[in-house]
Chain A
Amino acid sequence: NAGVTQTPKFQVLKTGQSMTLQCAQDMNHNSMYWYRQDPGMGLRLIYYSASEGTTDKGEVPNGYNVSRLNKREFSLRLESAAPSQTSVYFCASSELKNNYGYTFGSGTRLTVV
């Protein structure tokens, strides 16, 4: 049981390049999330998908797009990377029940130069 799998684990981009971060979960969870984590800022929600077929903006959506490809997969795309997007990105999944926590992926460390 892999849980939440993120790829790639590390990536260096040049300013203006694009890339897609992939996330897949095998726990049959309905909800999936993308967070970024920066020193002193904590975890900030970029986008989330409460259920298959829906996506919503979080706290810091600018510069990102998402696709909920199916119930298992939720991708995050950077169309034109900027140095301000240098961060660690975490994908997470959960159930819609009130007492259910997140399961996080292992993270992607992205550097934009």
Chain B
Amino acid sequence: QKEVEQNSGPLSVPEGAIASLNCTYSDRVSQSFFWYRQYSGKSPELIMSIYSNGDKEDGRFTAQLNKASQYVSLLIRDSQPSDSATYLCAVKRAGNQFYFGTGTSLTVIP
């Protein structure tokens, strides 16, 4: 079983819609959870982090964490073509090691 699993997609949504990206993780002692955005040919860029159960909002982005279900999600409201990228879920455990999912490719259609 992989440490972090994501649906590779591609996920396509129309401009203005809500994009929902999902991630599950295998280790219950995982402590911190991150979403990175990666444009083609570029390096990953941190967009959201979450540590406690519930929702965390930052502008058009909302991260959701459910530790009992070992599930993390990212919602992008009012999706824009500039949101088209690959989104990586990362899980941080004790010992300062990160584990990354393989990413979900998102395309926002104008």
Contact = CB atoms under 8 A, between A and B. Distances in A.
Interface in B2-46: 8, 31-32, 34, 36, 42-46
Contact of A98 (B8, B32, B102): B32
Contacts, number: 55
Contacts of A90: 43-44
Contact of B43 (A40, A42, A45, A107): A107
A103 B97 contact: no
Interface of B: 8, 31-32, 34, 36, 42-46, 49, 51, 88, 90, 92, 94-98, 100-103
Interface of A: 31, 33, 40-43, 45, 48, 50, 58, 90, 94, 96, 98-107
- State the 10 A-B residue pairs at the shortest beta-carbon distance, nearest first: A42-B102, A104-B43, A43-B100, A101-B46, A101-B34, A98-B31, A107-B43, A42-B100, A104-B44, A98-B32
